[in-house]
Amino acid sequence: MAPMSSRTRLAALASLSALALAGLSGCGSEGQDPASSDTTPTQAADPSDDAGEPSEPASDDTDANTTTVPVYFVGETPQGQRLFREFRKVESDNPAAEALALMTAGDALDPDYDTLYPSGSFASVDIADDMITVGLPDESWTTAPDGMSDDQARLAAQQLVYTVQGVTQKRVPVSITLDGAPADLFGLAGQVSNDPELDVRALVNITAPEEGASVSGSFTASGVSSSFEATTPWEIRKGGADGEVVKDGFATAEGWMDKLYPWETEVDVSGLPAGDYTFVAMTDDPSDGEGGGPTVETKSITIK
């Protein structure tokens, strides 16, 4: 596996044309928009994989200068490296470029996430009705860096595709250019589309609580999963991810097997002492570990 790049956030130069969004959707079919570490997220969505139309762009952000976008990072799962999503607030004048700057730098809130991209960022992002065009920073990105496998190159391309499609709310192809001419990304074809979710995304992903959230009383936990019989077990562990389980339960997602489906549940922490905990969500594992074990996602939280 190739070494991950540093988390230094690098600025992106963006040229956005025909950008048709004013935020993200209030639809609950894909996830939620974390407003801050101290508040319960409000809903936002990526475009649906099985419905050809994206969700209507909408947001309840009170700051007109920012909008909330999905950014895809890479993490480890029993199936190997997969994509994990975070919702992030960015400047609203060029959200696609801001999202790609976070993505390429591996600038994630969750320390378990990183990026497959080398140092640098895309030079431009242009949005049209039937195509998203991104410009490479230089010729070095036309071939895979030393140590990057073919699988990692393809997953890096999916990081890009899922992020810009989520920002623009359009499931359209992504065209790669260098100085305005068609080019390859890491030796792949110069035009890439989204692969099926179950081939590239982690089988469970927590949307709320976000990393570092403060909670009290009870809170709404949510995310997406594809888990046996739509069951998504969860736990609260004292301290870190390997700590003692002090509370557990499960959420029932809206479906399973063919794609990721949303899940949501209320978690009562009123009986737990104040302190640092870890919220854990996982896939149900009827094989009892024979298939590589469950996919596990964790978020550090503080109970007030």
What pLDDT does 62 receive? Answer: 57
Beta bridge mates, 284: none
Q: Residue 111: CB partners within 8 Å, gap ≥ 6?
A: 211
Percent of the chain scoring above 90 in pLDDT? 76
Q: Residue 287: CB partners within 8 Å, gap ≥ 6?
A: none
- The mean pLDDT of the chain is 84
Tell me if 25 sits within 8 A of 56, measured CB to CB.
yes
CATH topology of domain 205-303: Immunoglobulin-like (2.60.40)
Question: Helix %, strand %, coil % for the chain, to 5?
Answer: 15, 35, 55
Token pair recorded at residue 154: 């393809």
Q: CA Rg, the chain, in Å?
A: 19
Dihedral of alpha carbons 163, 154, 193, 11, sign: positive
Torsions phi, psi for 225 (to 5 deg): -160, 160
Average the pLDDT over 175-199 and give the result: 95
Residue whose pair of structure tokens reads 């969500």 in the numeric block: 281
Maximum alpha-carbon separation in the chain:
61
SS (H, E, C) 24-48: CCCCCCCCEECCCCCCCCEECCCCC
Residue 127 pLDDT level (bands cut at 50, 70, 90): very high
Where does residue 159 rank: exposed (0-12), middle (13-18), buried (19+ CB within 10 A)?
buried
Q: Is the pLDDT of residue 96 over 90?
A: yes
Residue 46 pLDDT level (bands cut at 50, 70, 90): low
- Span 135-147, pLDDT tens digits: 999 999 999 999 9
Residue 54 pLDDT level (bands cut at 50, 70, 90): very low
Q: Is the pLDDT of residue 262 over 60?
A: yes
Q: Residue 163: CB partners within 8 Å, gap ≥ 6?
A: 69, 70, 71, 72, 99, 100, 103
Of 125-129, 168-172, 213-217, 291-295, minimum mean pLDDT range: 291-295
What pLDDT does 150 receive? Answer: 97
Residue 292 pLDDT level (bands cut at 50, 70, 90): confident
Q: Is the pLDDT of residue 70 over 70?
A: yes
**Alpha-carbon separation of residue 159 from 74, 84, 270, 293 (angstroms):** 8, 9, 38, 24
Beta bridge mates, 70: 87
What is the DSSP secondary-structure string of 9-21? ---------S---
Distance in angstroms (rounded) separating the CA atoms of residues 84 and 82: 7
Q: Any idea where the domains of the chain sit in the sequence? A: 32-200, 205-303
What pLDDT does 165 receive? Answer: 97
- The strand pair at 124-127 and 132-135 is best described as antiparallel
Tell me if 241 sits within 8 A of 278, measured CB to CB.
yes
- Span 216-259, pLDDT tens digits: 999 999 999 999 999 999 999 999 999 999 999 999 999 999 99
- The strand pair at 132-135 and 261-268 is best described as unpaired
What pLDDT does 288 receive? Answer: 73
